[in-house]
Structure 1
Amino acid sequence: MVLSRLLWLAPLTLILLTTLLVIANEYAVASGSKRTKDILYDSSDSASERHRLDVYTPRSTTSKTRPVVVFIHGGSWDSGSKNMYSFVGRRLASQGVVAVLINYRLAPAVEVPEMAVDCSHALVWTYRHIAEYGGDPNQIYVMGHSAGGGLAALLAVNSHYFTQLGLMQNPIKGAILDDPAGLDMFDYLKKMEYPGDEKYLIPFGKKADVWQMVSALYQVDANCPPMLMYTGEETYPSIIKSSRKFDQQLKKFGIRHTLTIIPGKKHVGMAVQLFWKNNLIYKDLRKFIGVDQ
Structure 2
Amino acid sequence: MRHFILFFAFLWATHAGYTQNIRYETIENISYVNENEVASDYAKEQCKLDIHYPTSGENKPIVLWFHGGGLTGGKKEIPTFLKEKELVIVGVGYRLAPNVKVEDIIRDAAKATSFVVQNADRYRGDTSNVFISGHSAGGYLALMLSLNKTYLEAEGFDADKLAGIIPFSAQTITHFTARKEQGIKEEQPIINELAPLFWVRKNAPPITLLTGDRELEMLGRYEENAYLKRMLSIVGHKHVKLLEFQGYNHGMVYPGLPVLIEEIGRLVKERR
- TM-score normalised per structure 2: 0.79
Structure 1 unaligned regions, length at least 5:
1-28, 190-198
CA RMSD of aligned residues (A): 2.6
SS at match of 2:106: helix
How far residue 53 of structure 1 moved from its aligned partner, in angstroms, is 0.6
Q: Give the aligned partner of residue 12 of structure 2.
A: none
Determine if contact 2:140/2:196 at 8 Å carries over to the other structure. Answer: yes
Highest RCO, 1 vs 2 (Cα 8 Å, sep ≥ 6): 2
C-alpha separation between the residues in 1 aligned to 2:40 and 2:266? 37
Match of 2:25 among 34, 42, 48: 34
- Number of equivalenced pairs: 238
Answering whether residue 248 of structure 2 is matched by residue 259 of structure 1, we say no
Match of 1:167 among 148, 157, 179: 157
Match of 1:185 among 163, 171, 174: 174
SS at match of 2:223: helix
Determine if contact 1:163/1:170 at 8 Å carries over to the other structure. Answer: no
How far residue 253 of structure 1 moved from its aligned partner, in angstroms, is 2.2
Summarize the alignment of residues 208-287 of structure 1 with structure 2, pairs less than 5 Å apart.
212-233=192-213, 234-255=216-237, 256-268=239-251, 270-273=252-255, 279-287=258-266
SS at match of 2:81: helix
SS at match of 1:177: strand
Match of 1:51 among 39, 44, 47: 47
Answering whether residue 264 of structure 2 is matched by residue 288 of structure 1, we say no
C-alpha separation between the residues in 1 aligned to 2:143 and 2:159? 16
Determine if contact 1:41/1:121 at 8 Å carries over to the other structure. Answer: yes
Structure 2 unaligned regions, length at least 5:
1-19
C-alpha separation between the residues in 2 aligned to 1:168 and 1:257? 19
Determine if contact 1:127/1:171 at 8 Å carries over to the other structure. Answer: no
1:163-207 C-alpha deviation (Å, 9 max, x unpaired):
2223356542210011112x1128xx6xxxxxxxxx7644x4348
Determine if contact 2:133/2:139 at 8 Å carries over to the other structure. Answer: yes
C-alpha separation between the residues in 2 aligned to 1:284 and 1:138? 16
Determine if contact 1:162/1:170 at 8 Å carries over to the other structure. Answer: no
CA gap of 1:158–1:115, structure 2 versus 1, over 3 A, is same
Q: Percent identity?
A: 24
Which protein is richer in helix relative to its size?
1
Q: Which amino acid aligns with 1:231?
A: T
Determine if contact 2:61/2:125 at 8 Å carries over to the other structure. Answer: yes
How far residue 49 of structure 1 moved from its aligned partner, in angstroms, is 2.2
Q: Which amino acid aligns with 1:159?
A: K
SS at match of 1:100: strand
Q: Give the aligned partner of residue 115 of structure 1.
A: 105
SS at match of 2:169: strand
Q: Give the aligned partner of residue 182 of structure 2.
A: 205
Determine if contact 1:73/1:148 at 8 Å carries over to the other structure. Answer: yes
Most deviating of 227-236 and 44-53: 44-53
C-alpha separation between the residues in 1 aligned to 2:178 and 2:150? 25
How far residue 283 of structure 1 moved from its aligned partner, in angstroms, is 2.6
Determine if contact 2:24/2:52 at 8 Å carries over to the other structure. Answer: yes
1:252-273 C-alpha deviation (Å, 9 max, x unpaired):
12221110111100112x1244
Summarize the alignment of residues 52-71 of structure 1 with structure 2, pairs less than 5 Å apart.
52-59=48-55, 61-62=56-57, 64-71=58-65
Determine if contact 2:191/2:198 at 8 Å carries over to the other structure. Answer: no
Summarize the alignment of residues 3-18 of structure 1 with structure 2, pairs less than 5 Å apart.
none
Determine if contact 1:92/1:98 at 8 Å carries over to the other structure. Answer: no
Larger Rg: 1
